[in-house]
Structure formats: structure tokens, C-alpha cells
Amino acid sequence: MPTALLDLVLPPRCAGCDAPGALFCSRCAAELYGEPGRRMPDPSPPGLPECWSATVYTGAVRRAVVAYKERGRTALARPLAGALALTVATAAGKRPVVLVPVPSSRSAGRRRGHDPVNRLAGLAAAYLQAAGWPATVERMLVQRRRVADQAGLSSLQRAENLSRAFRVTVNRNGSVPGFWGDSGVVVLVDDIVTTGATLAEAARALRAAGIAVPLAATVAATRRRERISGGHRR
């Protein structure tokens, strides 16, 4: 039976710790919502927008994101999108926002049976709108070629894999459908940020179309890796 259907017919268990009684227990929810902030990969690739995330990609949050993204627990979209909306609000201040989701590949969409980032962006915008925040979603990015799975690739390999991978959909007159420059601050949206290569390439494609991209927001950010410099870890 599909996992999404099981979520409807069986008593819920927490996606973070497997405790019975709730899709996300209060302790795991505190991990998810507790510390939205600016988290940049180190080192950061050129052209990366300022990156904000709800929390770090570890523990209960990591388990929940994997369950939602790869195991079909689509009911988790709502709590994850709530964390994303809180992050966007923290990053953007009082400015109207235009959320631009990073597109998944067609093969990933077929394998998963859903588009996790598109769903998160739409729900996050709805939460912001319900709170009186001017927020829209513009799905203006598409993949222009096939890319390899990013898992296990180094920072350099990720950048090479994604080089020129995205383009912006435009009308015949060269304008972006549904987008005006005064719509609000553009915020790139993804589920997690690791090296920043995906967000940097997405931002490059938008800038090539004349769209400024000052911010990116994700549910979670991987912890900064220790680097060795002069024989010392830091």
C-alpha cells in the first residue's frame, strides 16, 4: 500500500522519532521550527544567494525530509512547508516575496511520484498569504538537460554536473510569464542546501534572464564540514 495512503488509514507516528500519536511530535517540531537563520555553505560557490534555512539537516529533521522526499510520506509537506514559510519570513523582513522553486529532474519526479520542492513552495506561499504576507510562487525554472544524481559528489563535481543545467521559461517577446520586476524580492526555494551548487546554478539562470536573486531558503542546511588548513582542523 502506498505510504501516502497508509498515513490516512493508520494512526500517525512521528516522522522524526517514530513516537505514536502525531505526524510530528512536539519535541521533533521544536527541532524543525526552533532556529531559522542564515546558513551559508563553507566554502560557498560563486553567485550563491544569501542562504537561509529553518534548521540543520540532522536527526529528526533529516529523517522527516527523507521520508517526505524519498518514501512517499507526502503528508509531511505541511509541517516542512510551515518551517520553510517561517524561514522566508525571517529572511525577507517585511518585503513581499516571490518564491521560485528549484525544479526536480523528470526522472526523479517519476521515481518519487511527486515533486517535493514544488509542493513545499506552494504550501509555504499559502501559509504566508494566510498570515497577511504578500507572497506568490513562480515556477519559472526548468531543467534544460539531464543531470546525474548529486549524492556522493564533491563540491567541484556538483558544480560541473549542474553547469548550465537550468533555464528560465520566457514568452516569445522574451518576458517571463507571470513575473514583474516589482512583484517582490525573489527567493529561491529548495528542500536542503549542501554545497550550494544547485542554488548557485539556479540563481545564474535567473540572473541571465535579468532577474535579481538576493535570497535562497531551504528547510534544512547540512552542517559545515571541517576543513584542514595548515595541518589544523577548523
Summarised one tens digit per residue, pLDDT across range 75-84 is: 999 999 999 9
Q: What's the full length of the chain, in residues?
A: 234
Using DSSP's 3-state secondary structure scheme, residue 68 falls into: helix
Q: How far apart are CA 177 and CA 172, in angstroms?
A: 10
Place of cell 531543467: 143
- Return the amino acid letter for 140: M
Span 1-17, average pLDDT: 65
Distance CA 223, CA 218 (A): 13
pLDDT over 50 (residue 228): no
Residues 6+ apart with CB under 8 A from 174: none
pLDDT score at 60? 95
Cell of 164: 548550465
Helix (H) or strand (E) holding 233: strand 232-233
Residue 27's alpha-carbon distances to 15, 63, 67, 210, 223, in angstroms, are 11, 14, 18, 43, 21
Q: Give pLDDT tens digits for 91-150.
A: 999 899 999 999 876 665 566 666 899 999 999 999 999 999 999 999 999 876 555 455
* Sheet strands (E) in 106-227: 135-137, 141-143, 166-168, 185-193, 215-221
Check residues 47 and 150 and name the one with the higher pLDDT: 47
Query: What are the backbone angles phi and psi of residue 216, rounded to the nearest 5°?
Result: -135, 145
Amino acid, single-letter form, for residue 50: E
Q: If residue 35 lies in a helix (H) or strand (E), which one and from where to where?
A: none
Among 176, 186, 29, CA closest to 101:
186
User: What pLDDT is recorded for position 147?
Assistant: 57
How far apart CA 128 and CA 152 sit, in angstroms, is: 35
pLDDT tens-digit series, residues 163-212:
557 888 877 666 777 666 677 899 999 999 998 989 999 999 999 888 99
Delineate the domains of the chain, giving CATH numbers in brackets: 35-224 (3.40.50)
CA atoms within 13 A on the CB side of 111: 9
